[in-house]
Amino acid sequence: MTLTHLSEWTSFGGTLSVYEHESVITRTPMTFAVYTPKGEGPFPVLWYLSGLTCTWANVMEKAGLQRMAAELGLMIIAPDTSPRGDEVPNDTSYDLGQGAGFYLSATQAPWAEHYHMDRYITEELTQIIADNFQSDMSRQGITGHSMGGHGAITLHLKNPEQFKSCSAFSPITSPSRVPWGQKAFTAYLGKDETIWKAYDASALVKSGHTSSAHILIDTGTADNFREEQLKPELFVQACEASEQKLTSRLQDGYDHSYYFVASFIEDHLRWHAEALG
């Protein structure tokens, strides 16, 4: 496997680098970004999963995380949100296809050949980071925004030994019960809703997929997707019933944008740094 170095910038004493490689799992070129703080590694690793229509660039350019990541000595990994390319299936809507991989492994045509973002992150990209960067893979956390928050929580709950800390901004916590998730799951996984539960954070917790981690969630009260698409209260109820440790905060006046993420990214980075030691 060959990594192609696409670009690099110095930021708060550390280095933000962007790479491309040919993925065995998605069968496409994949791009990802790494922020490495200044100093001697290995560094604890925090994965950031982005939301619908996004790439690695959204968090690295808009969240302002480099200053605090440098101070805390955290390496940040930002994968893309889906496979991409002229030969990769797509859809005319923003919430399906390229940019909308939903961090799952598709089983339905035409998506099943390329759309395996959960395995790409937990298997292939994890190994790439371990082999090529100053990373301490015994200390990994995961966070994300919106669709990426869904990905962060579900990947954590299914891989608690890999991702030892977890947080999310405005996550889709019950995708089986909201339009975004129902559309994506039907396309990628088929109509059998029992299969959907493996990718639904609330359903996972209800079925016993809990962890010893204390999960942090922030959602804005002015988020226009909160009532229809996010439904954080359903995940709160599931965690309370299953005794999963959770802090779920409603932040007054904040919406779904990166202005919101940037306002609370320091809280989340400190949360992970403390949990990862």
List the one residue out of 49, 50, 81, 52 whose CA is nearest residue 180.
52
Structure tokens at 188: 């990628």
Please give the Cα distance from 214 to 190 (Å, whole number). Answer: 33
- Listed by start position, the domains of the chain span 4-276
% of the chain at pLDDT higher than 90: 100
Tell me the catalytic residues. 146, 223, 256
Residue 36 pLDDT > 90, yes or no? Answer: yes
Q: For 114-158, write each residue's pLDDT tens digit.
A: 999 999 999 999 999 999 999 999 999 999 999 999 999 999 999
Residue 1 pLDDT > 80, yes or no? Answer: no
Q: For 7-33, write each residue's pLDDT tens digit.
A: 999 999 999 999 999 999 999 999 999
pLDDT for position 138: 98
List C-alpha distances in Å: 20 to 2, 3, 32, 51, 80: 9, 6, 7, 20, 10
Average pLDDT on 169-189 reads 98
pLDDT for position 232: 98
Average pLDDT on 243-249 reads 98
> Measured in whole angstroms, how far is the alpha carbon of residue 233 from the centre of its chain?
20
Provide the pLDDT confidence category of residue 102 given band limits of 50, 70 and 90: very high
In sequence order, the β-bridge partners of residue 44 are: 136
List C-alpha distances in Å: 220 to 93, 102, 264: 25, 21, 11
Class in CATH terms, 4-276: alpha beta
Residue 41 pLDDT > 80, yes or no? Answer: yes
Return contacts of 205-210, CB within 8 angstroms, 24+ apart.
205/157, 205/235, 205/238, 205/239, 205/242, 205/244, 206/238, 206/241, 206/242, 208/242, 209/157, 209/158, 210/157, 210/242, 210/243, 210/244
Average pLDDT on 218-231 reads 98
pLDDT for position 42: 98
Average pLDDT, the chain: 98
pLDDT for position 243: 97
Structural element, H or E, at residue 222: none
Q: Is 31 helix (H, G, I), strand (E, B) or coil?
A: strand
Residue 277: other Cβ atoms inside 10 A: 10
Structure tokens at 209: 């997929």
